[in-house]
Structure 1
Amino acid sequence: MRSTDIAIREAAATFRDIELDHPLRLAGATVDRFTLAIVRVTAEDRAGRLACGQGASVLSVPWSWPVSRLSWTARDLAMRALTERLAATALTTGPGDPFEICAELAAGMTPKEDGAQDGGDGEPLPALAAALALGAVDNAVHDGWARAARRPATSLYEGFALGRPRHLLPVQHVVGVGDPLESPGRRARPEPSVRGGEGRDHGGAGGPVRPLRAWLRAEGITHVKVKLTGQDPVTDARRVADVHRVLRRSPGGHHTISLDPNEGYAETSAVVELLDVLRASPAWEALTYLEQPVPRDAPPDPDGMRRIADRLPVLADESLAAERDLPRLAEEGWSGLVVKAARGQSLAMRSLAHARDHGLRVTVQDLTAVDVALAHSARLAAALPLDWPAFEYNSRQYAPRANDGLPGHLVQVRQGHIVPGPARPGIL
C-alpha cells in the first residue's frame, strides 16, 4: 500500500466542438473538425487529501475511425459515450496508482468498445478510437494523482528513465497534402488531387491558406513534417523535393523533414521506391524519419519494413492503440514509435519504457491538440528523452482560436520554439 495511491471520488466529461479554419488533408481523408474531450476528476489519497485533476483528448474520427458504414456524427457520438462511461466507471476503481486504474478501465471495456467483434449487429469502435476515449480519463487520473501528492507527475514515475525537462521545444510545422508552399505568383507544381473525407472541403473561416514560406519567415521554423498522398512514390518524392527547395531558401540554418503518409501506401515495396527516389534528391540529407507508411491493419511484412528501416527510421503510429500492441513492433520491423498524449499518459509512459528496453526510437506528436490537450502534449514532450526533439504543433495552423485560453509562452512561436513552462503538480 502506497501513500500516493488514490481513489476517484468524482468524475465528469465535457466536450468542445472544434472546427478547423482550414481543412487538414491527409492521405485519402480530410480533417475539418473534431471533438475535444475534457475529463475532470476529484482524487482522494490514502491520507484523505482531495485534489482536482483534468485531462483531455482529441476525439478525431478521420484519424481513429476512418472507415465505417456509420456517419461522422454517429462515430463521434460513440466516442463521446465511451468517454462518459469510462469516466463514470473510474469511480469504482482503486485505490491504486494511475497505471492500475487505467488497466482496470481498459479491462472493463466491452469487446465492441475495445475494437473486437462480439457477434452483435452493432459496429465496434476501432481500438484506436477506444484509446482516445480512454486517454481523456487516464490523463485526468494521472493529473489528480500527482496533484494529490503535490508533485509533478514525472517525479512520481518510479522505474522510468526520464531526463532533465527541456525549457524550449523546437516546433515542427506540418505541410498538409495540397497546402501551398509559395505565395501566389510564384511558380509551383500543381498539387495532386486527394479523395476528401466526409468533412467540408473548403478554405474555412481563415481565408487563404498561409504558404509554407510565410510560416518559415515569420516564426523561424526549422523542422517540417510533410504529409504524403501514398498514391504515387514519384509524385510524393517530388513534393518532398519542392518542400526542401523552399527550406533551403529560408533563414534558420539546418532544416529537417519528416515524412507522414498516414497509412497511405498499400505495400512496403512502394515505400522503398519512394525512399530510393528521394536518395537521388538533395532533400535526402534533411530527412529524419518516416511515420506509419502502411495501413494499421495490413498483414505484417517484416522483411519489407526492415528494407524501409535500412533506408530511414520508420515509426509506428496508427498501429499503436494499446499496451498489447507494443511487443510486436520490433518483430514486425519497426524502428520505433510515436507517443501521443491523446492516447493517454499510461500508454505514453509504457511505450517509452518498452522502447528503451527493446532498442526502439521515440518521438512525440500531437494530433492537432488544442487548449489543455496542447498544454499536456507540450509538457509530455518536454519531459521525455526523445530521439527527435521537434514538437508537432499544428493547431496554430489549423485551429488557432481554440488556444485562446492558453498562456502566450505556450502559444507563440519565437525563433522556432515554444516554452512549455515550469513543472507544476500534475501533468499540465
Structure 2
Amino acid sequence: MPESTDVRIVHARVSFEPVAFRAPLKFGGRVVSQTDLINVTVDVEDHQGRRASGHGSMPVGNVWAWPSANVDADQAEKAMKHLAELTAVHINSVPDFGHPIELMYSVIHEYGELASVVQREFGLPEGMPKLAQLVANSPLDAALHDAYGRLHGKNSYNTLSAEYMNQDLSVYLGPDFAHEYLDRYTLRDPKTRMPLYHLVGALDPLGDADIESRINDGLPETLEEWIRADGLTHLKIKLNGEDLNWDVERVLAIDRITAAVQAERNVESWHYSCDFNEKCENVEYVLDFLGKIKEQSEAAFDRIQYIEQPTHRNLKQHPENKMHAAAKIKPVVIDESLVDLESLELAQELGYTGVAFKACKGQTETLLFAAAAIKRNLFLCVQDLTCPGASFLHSATLAARIPGVAAIEGNGRQYCPGPNAPWAKLYPGMFEITDGTVETGSLNGPGMGFSRG
C-alpha cells in the first residue's frame, strides 16, 4: 500500500547564478576560473493537499564531469544547464505520488533519453556522459528531498525508513538488501564536528616566494597562511600524474612547509590525500610515487590517508588498470568512475578499496551508493566540486550522516567564496574555521538540514 506520507511534484523550476573565482583552480591538466550554480526549487504536495517547497544548488562542474576532445567547455556547460531545464519540465509532468527516493529513481532512468534530446538540439558530436547527467540534475534531486522533509517537519535523513519508504533497498540494490532501508546506512543525528580537507591545487602557492602578485582580498593566499588562519590538519593534494618527479617533489614540498607551520602551532598529527584526477597511465606510476615518497620521507608517506582516482574513469575501457598492488599500501578510491552500481562492482573487481561520494552525483544515487559501499566494507570519503554556499552545506550533510566518513572536503571558500556570505551569517561554524573543523552538528533542521530562514 502507498504510504500516506507520499508526495507528488507540483512544480520544479531552474535558475542559474554566475560565480567568479578569486583564483584559478588546476586539476587533471585543466584550469577553472569561473562557474555557474544550477539552482532548483521544487514544490510538492501530499494526499491531503499540504504543500512545501525545497531547494537545491550545485555548480555546473562541466570541466570535471565532461572533459572532452570533441565538445569544448562552453558547449558542455550550456548542454548541462539545458539538461537541468529539460529534466525540470519532464518531472513537472510526472503524476505519481511517492517517496523522493522512489520518484527520483524513476526519473534517473530518463536522464539518458533527455540527454539525447540535448545532444540533438545542440548538434553535439558525442553524447553527454552519465556523470555530467547526474551533476546537472543533482540540484533537482536535493530540492525534492528538501521539500519532502520540510512538508513532514523532519530532517530528510530521518525519512529514510520503512515508515516513509514504500520499497526496501532490494528494489534498488538487489536481494542482499531485502527488508533493509536507508536508515540502516545513515545516522539519525549528524556528526557534531568534522575535519575539513583543504585543497592544494597544482597552481596554488605554498609560500610567499610562490606569489607573483597578491590578490589582497583579505583571505589567505598561501598554504602557510591557510594553515595558520584555519588551523588545518587535512590537506588534499592535486597532482600531475604524468610527471613523477614533479608529483613527488610537490608532496615533499607541501610536507616541509606544513611540518614547519604545525611545529609552530604544536600540532603533531595531520593528514594528506593525493588526487591524480585520472592522469596516471597505470598502477606502476602510483607504486613508484608511493615508493619514492616513502624513501625520501617516511613521515610524509605515513600522512597519506588515501589515493584518489589515479587512472582513467572509464573502467570498462581500461580493465588493465588494476589497483590491487597499490591498494595493499594505501586505500585507492574511485571518484569520477562512480556513476552506478555496476561501476562500483567493477571497481572492486579491479582492486579499488574505497569510494569518494559527491553531492553532485545526486542525493538519491549517493545514498544508494553509500549503502552498497558500507555493505562491502569499503573505505569511505566525501569529496567536493568546489561547492559554495548551499551546495557546500548539502555536501557537508552527506559527510555528517554517512557512517565511516571521517572528514569533509570544502574548497569553495578558497576559490569562489562569494555565495558563502549569506550562509555564513546563519551557520558560522560551517564557514568561519579556526580549528580545522566544521560544525556539521548545526545542519540538523527540517529538509536537508539547513535553510535561509
Give the TM-score of the pair, scaled to structure 2: 0.85
Q: Which amino acid aligns with 2:438?
A: I
SS where residue 369 of structure 2 aligns?
helix
Tell me if structure 2 keeps the 8 A contact 1:22–1:206: no
Deviates more, 1:270-279 or 1:296-305: 296-305
Structure 1 gaps, min length 5:
191-201
Distance 1:76 1:238, change over 3 A: same
Deviates more, 1:206-215 or 1:354-363: 206-215
Q: Give the alignment of 1:62-211 within 5 angstroms.
A: 62-93=63-94, 94-111=96-113, 113=115, 122-158=125-161, 159-160=181-182, 161-163=185-187, 164-184=189-209, 210-211=221-222
Distance (whole Å) between structure 1 residues aligned to residue 74 and residue 34 of structure 2: 11
SS where residue 52 of structure 1 aligns?
strand
Tell me if structure 2 keeps the 8 A contact 1:112–1:125: no
Please list the CA deviations of residues 168-194 of structure 1 after superposition, one character each: whole Å capped at 9, or x if unmatched.
Answer: 1211111000311122389xxx9xxxx
1:400 offset after TM fit, Å?
A: 1.3
Give the % identical residues: 30
Question: What is the number of residues matched between the two proteins?
Answer: 412
Tell me if structure 1 keeps the 8 A contact 2:82–2:118: no
Q: Which residue among 277, 294, 309 is the counterpart of 1:262?
A: 277
Residue 348 of structure 2 is aligned to residue 348 of structure 1: no
1:29 offset after TM fit, Å?
A: 0.6
1:338 offset after TM fit, Å?
A: 0.7
Distance (whole Å) between structure 2 residues aligned to residue 85 and residue 260 of structure 1: 33
Tell me if structure 2 keeps the 8 A contact 1:330–1:358: no
Distance (whole Å) between structure 2 residues aligned to residue 124 and residue 111 of structure 1: 10
Please list the CA deviations of residues 217-237 of structure 1 after superposition, one character each: whole Å capped at 9, or x if unmatched.
Answer: 111100000000111223211
Distance 1:144 1:112, change over 3 A: closer
* Structure with the higher fraction of residues in helix conformation: 2
Distance (whole Å) between structure 1 residues aligned to residue 413 and residue 119 of structure 2: 38
Distance (whole Å) between structure 2 residues aligned to residue 115 and residue 327 of structure 1: 30
Residue 426 of structure 2 is aligned to residue 426 of structure 1: no
SS where residue 165 of structure 1 aligns?
coil
Distance 1:175 1:111, change over 3 A: same
Tell me if structure 2 keeps the 8 A contact 1:7–1:91: no
Distance 1:231 1:115, change over 3 A: farther
1:81 offset after TM fit, Å?
A: 0.6
Q: Which residue among 406, 423, 446 is the counterpart of 1:406?
A: 423
Distance 1:276 1:84, change over 3 A: same
1:315 offset after TM fit, Å?
A: 0.5
Residue 397 of structure 2 is aligned to residue 397 of structure 1: no
In structure 2, the partner of 1:378 is 396
1:301 offset after TM fit, Å?
A: 4.0
Give the TM-score of the pair, scaled to structure 1: 0.90
Distance (whole Å) between structure 2 residues aligned to residue 131 and residue 61 of structure 1: 11
In structure 1, the partner of 2:435 is 415
1:204 offset after TM fit, Å?
A: 7.3
Distance 1:313 1:179, change over 3 A: same
Structure 2 gaps, min length 5:
162-180
1:8 offset after TM fit, Å?
A: 0.4
1:324 offset after TM fit, Å?
A: 4.1
1:414 offset after TM fit, Å?
A: 2.0
Distance 1:46 1:226, change over 3 A: same
In structure 2, the partner of 1:315 is 333
In structure 1, the partner of 2:309 is 292
Tell me if structure 2 keeps the 8 A contact 1:56–1:136: yes
Tell me if structure 2 keeps the 8 A contact 1:28–1:229: yes
Q: Give the alignment of 1:325-364 within 5 angstroms.
A: 325-364=343-382
In structure 1, the partner of 2:287 is 272
1:296 offset after TM fit, Å?
A: 0.7
SS where residue 126 of structure 2 aligns?
coil
Q: Which amino acid aligns with 2:434?
A: R
